[in-house]
Amino acid sequence: MRTVTEHRDAVLALAAPLTSREVPLGEALGLVLAADLVSRLDLPGFDNSAMDGYAVRAADLAGADEDHPVSLPVAGDIAAGDTAEHALEPGSTWRIMTGAPLPRGADAVVPVELSDGGDARAAMRLAPEVGRHVRRRGEDVGLGDIVLTAGQVLTPGRLALAAAANVPVVHCIPRPRVAVVSTGDELVRVGEHPAYGQIVDSNSAMLAALVEAAGAEVASVTHVPDDADRLRDWLRELPGEPDLVLTTGGVSMGAYDTVKEVLREEGGVEFVRVAMRPGMPQGCGAVGDPPIPIITLPGNPVSSFVSFHVFVWPVLRRLAGAPVVAALEDSPEVIETVAAQGWESAADKVELTRVMLGPEGAHPSRGQGSHMLGALGQADALAIVPAEITRVEAGTRVRCLPLLGHA
Amino acid sequence: MRTVTEHRDAVLALAAPLTSREVPLGEALGLVLAADLVSRLDLPGFDNSAMDGYAVRAADLAGADEDHPVSLPVAGDIAAGDTAEHALEPGSTWRIMTGAPLPRGADAVVPVELSDGGDARAAMRLAPEVGRHVRRRGEDVGLGDIVLTAGQVLTPGRLALAAAANVPVVHCIPRPRVAVVSTGDELVRVGEHPAYGQIVDSNSAMLAALVEAAGAEVASVTHVPDDADRLRDWLRELPGEPDLVLTTGGVSMGAYDTVKEVLREEGGVEFVRVAMRPGMPQGCGAVGDPPIPIITLPGNPVSSFVSFHVFVWPVLRRLAGAPVVAALEDSPEVIETVAAQGWESAADKVELTRVMLGPEGAHPSRGQGSHMLGALGQADALAIVPAEITRVEAGTRVRCLPLLGHA
């Protein structure tokens, strides 16, 4: 039986970051930069005013204060967006707006609040030091400066910086696309009436939501009955040009395990038992030409949900160019809290207990059976209970992986 | 001058949760449920096997163990999805797959691993207790049970539960739609060459990304020059059927503040100063018929970015039906850390310092000027420094609002 870390290593070995491409800023939120981003401009692009007020030579206002205003003639107005290159004659001023270019010769700005606001002459009650309320060309970013580096995630602030640096299209790693196939004769679509012995296919909706919550895209979602030919056809087609294939169901010890049967025949996929609960039966490999990574998830919705967090999420991160570690408990998403109550855990297996996080710590949600979906609606995180622990004692530290989509 | 909390109160008073509607599961990720969700099925829907193995009457295997296997004739196979109602004769067994319906009369399952796996007769090495490896109808969820409650966010696990409960369409509050207008003669589009005195419009790309990162939808993004008629036309049209309108620029103390001029004329919008840095000039109100909330953001990209986090985000949460609190420092998103170094803060204003979060705590990013976008690329959070603090001392506690899009 494999450890969780060994199987994470195995699935991660199947995936490499996708080929980078040029993406417009408007579509790049959340993507990973594939190359350093270089500013095409100085920021600011020209000396400009940080305030609405008057552009002056500081020397002309020596000695000005509340009781001794100094009055200067106003040469005119300079608005933000004024593209003329104005000059400031000694002994005069220009009225200037925030962001407007400083006239040549000016070296300070007096805020309008410290003046009488005049438009022919203005009386100013401040003797500013040189550079006061002036934003100097290039003081924030210089033309040619590297402002973002390869590997950074494009957050809203970084997209703003890319825009300000006049870069409309960024070189980054695209969102991975995932094809999902749920298998099993027993499944009916959500909203259809299940006959005796049938169940509603919740895995399709769940996996599509998990893919989306992980920042990836759903390439296709298909249901295939337990029919080897139909599954083979689907594998040949792989609808939606996926970068990753997920199957659910058909991988346990039963006589009708179509996924196992077909993929064993085709080769390139290994089926293993992983020392975890839930989610012991796992499989991974590659299908198609060129080969695409495939992960075979158990059919139990709860096992499938847990397996997605443990094995599929890191693969999606690697495909997207984000950093990953093999050891689940060392993932950057993992938080540490205390067990608010005690609970039993499987011997010799990593137990992934569905827990609710509260001010007192982690409580297991009721109903931990792998077929029990009710508890999944209340859980916030998976507590990662190591294989050697058979009972989590109240008050002890426990590491938890917050569930996807739980901000 | 208003406090931050007073102005958050004012903007929140403009917004109410949007009208709820029916949304298919595939489009509901992240939305807030507007009504309790009731299961349309028992879960499980029928007694079924938790293992691949043999369905038995426990009494028939009394005394069986590793050394004394009991052999029973196999009546046949029951696969998952088998819709026939089989019966188990005393003294016999059915081979059964995980999830398959238990034959009438069976009360336990022996896992295949504890048998010889036979298909005509099977020898079993376990005397199971009644109920062993059997999942009882309705033991997880009962038909008519409330499985999710109004106000819950639809996470992947909850969508799986809704699907399993056979509810294909959920009653929830839709994603708010936001129309963005950036104003100013000085702006050119990203990728165009700015002449002397012009700057690249980074606010449009930034606000669109912030809207998306906050889980809302961009209804439209428009640039309007400093021309009152053009702005009035835009306000009459409000492209994209928005639920919220955001403007940037044109709201400070200058002579060319078109947004202020036009909205003052039309009425319904107040312009105020808020005791915060950056982001002092703020405005909010309602426009159009029926009235839609409007928030006027400063033109400085950094001020606009900070103002979005402080005022727009809570309004989007309220429109989306999520809980909000007026006091920024009490928001559920706020985390507490320590100042890794000391820094100065504005007197009598809440300072929102852009900080990087590291293992030692919060470091201010370099360049805190409201025109300084370079630092925005490195920041992870806004440190919320109260008005009465003029210096944050290294090692003291500081509350931080993680930036949108920073997981």
B253 or A18, which is more confident? A18
- Residue B58, SS3 per DSSP: helix
Q: Exposed, middle or buried: residue B201 (CB in 10 Å: 0-12, 13-18, 19+)?
A: buried
Q: What tens digit of pLDDT does each residue of B85-130 get?
A: 999 999 999 999 988 999 999 999 999 999 999 999 999 999 999 9
pLDDT of residue A169: 98
Query: Residue B79: inside a domain, yes or no?
Result: yes
Instruction: Examine residue A168 and say whether the peptide bond preceding it is cis (omega within 30 degrees of 0).
Output: no
Distance, in Å, from the CA atom of A82 to the CA atom of A94, rounded to the nearest integer, reads: 13
User: Are residues A157 and B379, on separate chains, in Cβ contact within 8 Å?
Assistant: yes
- 8 Å CB contact between A371 and A300: yes
What letter represents residue B275's amino acid? A
Place of tokens 């805020």: A111
Q: Given the DSSP bridges, would you call strands B93-96 and B70-78 parallel, antiparallel or unpaired?
A: parallel
Same domain, A13 and A88: no
Where does residue A373 fall: left (phi above 0), alpha (psi -120 to 50 degrees), or beta otherwise? alpha
- The pLDDT score that the predictor gives to residue A94 is 98
Distance CA B96, CA B182 (A): 65
Q: Assess whether A85 and A217 both reside in one domain.
A: no
CATH value at residue B81? 2.170.190.11
Task: Please name the residues between 241 and 300 in chain A that touch chain B, using a CB distance below 8 Å.
Answer: 252-256, 299-300
- Using DSSP bridges, classify how beta strands B292-297 and B244-248 pair: parallel, antiparallel or unpaired: parallel
Residue B100's H or E segment, with its range, is none
In order along its 407 residues, chain A shows pLDDT tens digits of 999 999 999 999 999 999 999 999 999 999 999 999 999 999 999 999 999 999 999 999 999 999 999 999 999 999 887 889 999 999 999 999 988 999 999 999 999 999 999 999 999 999 999 999 999 999 999 999 999 999 999 999 999 999 999 999 999 999 999 999 999 888 999 999 999 989 999 999 999 999 999 999 999 999 999 899 999 999 999 999 999 999 998 776 555 688 998 999 888 999 999 999 999 999 999 999 899 999 999 988 999 999 999 999 999 999 999 999 999 999 989 999 999 999 999 999 999 999 999 999 999 998 777 778 888 889 999 999 999 999 999 999 999 999 999 86
Residue whose pair of structure tokens reads 């009955």 in the numeric block: A225
Determine the Cα–Cα distance for residues A259 and A266; give it in Å rounded to an integer: 11
Compute the radius of gyration of chain A from its Cα atoms: 31
A279 & A155 share domain: no
What CATH number has the domain bearing residue B371? 2.40.340.10
Task: Judge contact between B309 and B316, C-beta under 8 A.
Answer: no
A314 and A209 in one domain?
Answer: yes
Higher-pLDDT residue of B133 and B371 is B133
In chain B, residues with a C-beta closer than 8 Å to the C-beta of A190 are 25, 163, 166-168
What is the predicted pLDDT for the residue at B267?
A: 86
Nearest chain A residue to B53, by CA: A254
Q: Mark yes or no for CB contact A80/B184 under 8 Å.
A: yes
Q: Within the 213-242 window of chain B, which residues sit less than 8 Å (CB to CB) from chain A?
A: 213, 225-226
Q: What is the pLDDT of residue A251?
A: 74
Q: Does B324 touch chain A (CB under 8 A)?
A: no
CA distance B406 to A84: 41
- A214 and A346 co-located in one domain: no
Q: What mean pLDDT do residues B341-361 have?
A: 95
Q: Residue B407 falls within a domain, yes or no? A: no
| Residues A319 and A354 occupy one common structural domain | no
pLDDT at A270: 94
Q: Which residues pair with B401 in a beta bridge?
A: B382
For residues A256 and A226, is the Cβ–Cβ distance under 8 A? Answer: yes
Same domain for B77 and B215, yes or no, is no
Q: In angstroms, how far is CA B135 from the centroid of its own chain? A: 34
Q: What is the pLDDT of residues B130-173, one digit of tens each?
A: 999 999 999 999 999 999 999 999 999 999 999 999 999 999 99
Give ∠ CA A288-A304-A183 in degrees, rounded to 5.
55
Mean pLDDT, chain B, integer: 94
Crossing angle of helices B156-164 and A203-213, rounded to 10°: 170
Q: Do B196 and A112 touch (CB under 8 A)?
A: no
Query: Token pair of B372, please?
Result: 């300084």
pLDDT, residue B407, reads 67
Contact status of A74 with chain B (Cβ, < 8 Å)? no
Q: Which domain holds residue A39?
A: 21-43+139-173
Any domain includes B391: yes
**Of A321-335, B69-83, B246-260, which gets the smallest average pLDDT?**
B246-260
Q: How many domains does chain A have?
A: 4
Looking at B157, B173, B189, which one is the last position of a domain?
B173
Query: Residue A253: what pLDDT?
Result: 57
ipTM of the complex, rounded to two decimals: 0.92
What is residue B335's three-state secondary structure?
A: strand
Which of A329, A350, A382 terminates a domain? The answer is A329
Asked whether the bond before A44 is cis by omega within 30 degrees of 0, the reply is: yes
Q: Clarify whether residues A10 and A39 are in a common domain.
A: no
Q: With contact defined as beta carbons under 8 Å apart, do A18 and A68 qualify?
A: no
Residue B78: Cβ within 10 Å count: 23
CATH number reported for the structural domain that contains residue B191 in this entry: 3.40.980.10
Q: Band the pLDDT of B213: cuts 50, 70, 90.
A: very high
Contact A226 B81 (CB under 8 A): yes
Please tell me whether residues B61 and B187 are part of one structural domain: no
Asked if A80 and B256 come within 8 Å (Cβ–Cβ), the reply is: yes
Separation of alpha carbons A252 and A226, rounded Å: 13
* Residue listed under structure tokens 């925030």: A98
Pairing of strands A177-183, B108-111: unpaired
**Min Cα–Cα distance to chain B from A160, Å:** 5
Identify whether B160 is part of a domain. yes
Which phi-psi region, left, alpha or beta, contains residue A279 (left: φ > 0; alpha: ψ -120 to 50)? left
Contacts of residues A285-293 at CB distance under 8 Å and 24 or more positions apart, as own/partner, are A285/A14, A286/A14, A287/A235, A287/A238, A287/A245, A287/A263, A288/A235, A288/A236, A288/A238, A288/A245, A292/A238, A292/A242, A292/A243, A292/A244, A292/A245, A293/A11, A293/A14, A293/A15, A293/A243, A293/A244, A293/A245
What one-character DSSP code corresponds to residue B59? G
d(CA B190, CA A170): 12
**Cβ atoms within 10 A of the Cβ of B354, count?**
26
Structure letter (DSSP) for residue B311:
I
A189 is a domain residue = yes
Let me know whether B182 and B270 are in one domain. yes
C-alpha dist (Å) from residue A307 to A11, A299, B285:
12, 11, 48
- Distance between CA atoms of residues B69 and B122, nearest Å: 9
Q: Would you call A81 and B194 a contact, using CB atoms and an 8 Å cutoff? A: no
B97 chain-A contacts, CB cut-off 8 A: 252, 254-256
If pLDDT is split at 50, 70 and 90, which confidence band does B266 have? confident
Name the burial class of residue A120, with classes exposed (0-12), middle (13-18) and buried (19+) by CB atoms within 10 angstroms of its CB. exposed
Last residue of a domain, one of A113, A147, A173: A173
pLDDT tier at B6, thresholds 50, 70, 90:
very high
A64/A62 Cα distance (integer angstroms) = 6
Gap between the Cα atoms of A279 and A290, Å rounded: 29
Taking alpha carbons only, the member of B49, B16, B164 closest to residue A373 is: B164
Q: What is the pLDDT of residue B381?
A: 97
Looking at the complex, report in whole angstroms how far the Cα of residue B377 sits from the nearest Cα belonging to chain A. Answer: 5
Mutate to test the interface with B, among A210, A253, A303, A401 (most CBs of B within 10 A): A253
Strands B281-287 and B335-338: unpaired
- Single-letter amino acid, residue B111: P
Q: Is residue B194 part of a domain?
A: yes
Q: Is residue B314 part of a domain?
A: yes
The mean per-residue pLDDT over the stretch B24-41 comes to 97
Is residue B337 within 8 angstroms of chain A, CB to CB? no
Residue A233 class from Cβ within 10 Å (0-12 exposed, 13-18 middle, 19+ buried)? Answer: exposed
Report how far residue B26's alpha carbon sits from residue A170's, in angstroms, rounded to the nearest whole number: 30
What interhelical angle do A156-164 and B203-213 show, nearest 10?
Answer: 170
Q: Are residues B27 and B161 in the same domain?
A: yes
B185 pLDDT band (50/70/90 cuts)?
A: confident
Instruction: Report the pLDDT value the prediction gives residue A255, as an integer from 0 to 100.
Output: 55
Cβ <8 Å between B99 and A405: no
- Residue A407 belongs to a domain: no
| Cβ–Cβ below 8 Å for A79 and B200 | no
Model confidence at B372, in pLDDT bands (50, 70, 90)?
confident
Beta bridge partners of A354: A382
Between the two ends of chain B, the Cα-to-Cα distance in Å is 34
Instruction: Map chain A to HEC letters.
Output: CECHHHHHHHHHCCCCCCCCEEEEHHHCCCCEECCCEECCCCECCCCEECCCEEEECHHHHCCCECCECEEEEEEEEECCCCCCCCECCCCCEEEECCCCECCECCCEEEEHHHECCCCCEEEECCCCCCCCCEECCCCCECCCCEEECCCCECCHHHHHHHHHCCCCEEEEECCCEEEEEEECCCEECCCCCCCCCCEECCHHHHHHHHHHHCCCEEEEEEEECCCHHHHHHHHHHCCCCCCEEEEECCCCCCCCCHHHHHHHHHCCEEEEEECEECCCEEEEEEECCCCEEEEEECCCHHHHHHHHHHHHHHHHHHHCCCCCCCCHHHCCCCEEEEECCCEECCCCCEEEEEEEEECCEEEECCCCCCCCCHHHHCCCEEEEECCCCCEECCCCEEEEEECCCCC
Residue of B nearest to A161 (CA): B373
Which tokens hold the place of B145? Answer: 């049970």
Per-residue confidence (pLDDT) for residue B368, from 0 to 100: 77
Q: Please report the pLDDT score of residue A252 as a whole number.
A: 66
Return the residue of B nearest to A198 by Cα: B81
Indicate whether A288 and A192 sit together in one domain.
yes
CA distance B285 to chain A (A): 24
Widest Cα–Cα separation across chain A: 97
In tens, the pLDDT along B215-231 reads: 999 999 999 998 999 99
The token duo for B232 is 């009035």
pLDDT over 80 at B183, yes or no: yes
